[in-house]
């Protein structure tokens, strides 16, 4: 008679939860800069990491502000596009991922 090991579904769920919590904590630490990102994480190149960093967002915001101040007519257009910034950032990241993995 073969011995069957019955694995409790609750224990399986706990194990998956433990693993996903560890992944989330690791990614949050990388995001905050407490831990150096692993070489396998996206984006891999230093240029892409710099382009998607908080400093790049500040630089882009400054460029947008200067453009709005130099061209007051564009202020209304820029003001309407500001809420779309997270959406545009996601779209640009998806485009870059597809292009990189071709």
pLDDT in tens, 63-94: 877 876 788 777 677 667 777 777 777 777 77
Spatial separation of the C-alpha atoms in residues 25 and 100, rounded to whole Å: 27
Report the mean per-residue pLDDT for the chain: 76
Decide if 30 contacts 41 (C-beta within 8 A). Answer: yes
Query: Predicted confidence band at 1 (pLDDT cuts at 50, 70, 90)?
Result: very low
Residue 3 has pLDDT above 60, yes or no: no
Residue matched to tokens 């947008």: 64
> Length of the chain in residues, anyone?
102
Spatial separation of the C-alpha atoms in residues 60 and 54, rounded to whole Å: 10
Residue 45 has pLDDT above 50, yes or no: yes
User: Which pLDDT does position 42 carry in this prediction?
Assistant: 62
């Amino acid at each position: 008679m073969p011995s069957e090991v019955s694995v409790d579904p609750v224990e399986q769920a706990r194990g998956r939860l433990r693993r996903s919590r560890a992944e989330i904590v690791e990614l949050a630490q990388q995001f905050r800069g407490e831990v150096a990102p692993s070489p396998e994480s996206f984006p891999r190149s230093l240029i892409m990491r710099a382009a998607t960093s908080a400093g790049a967002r500040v630089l882009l915001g400054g460029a947008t502000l200067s453009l709005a101040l130099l061209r007051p007519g564009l202020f209304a257009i820029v003001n309407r596009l500001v809420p779309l910034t997270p959406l545009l950032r996601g779209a640009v990241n998806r485009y870059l991922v597809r292009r990189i993995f071709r």
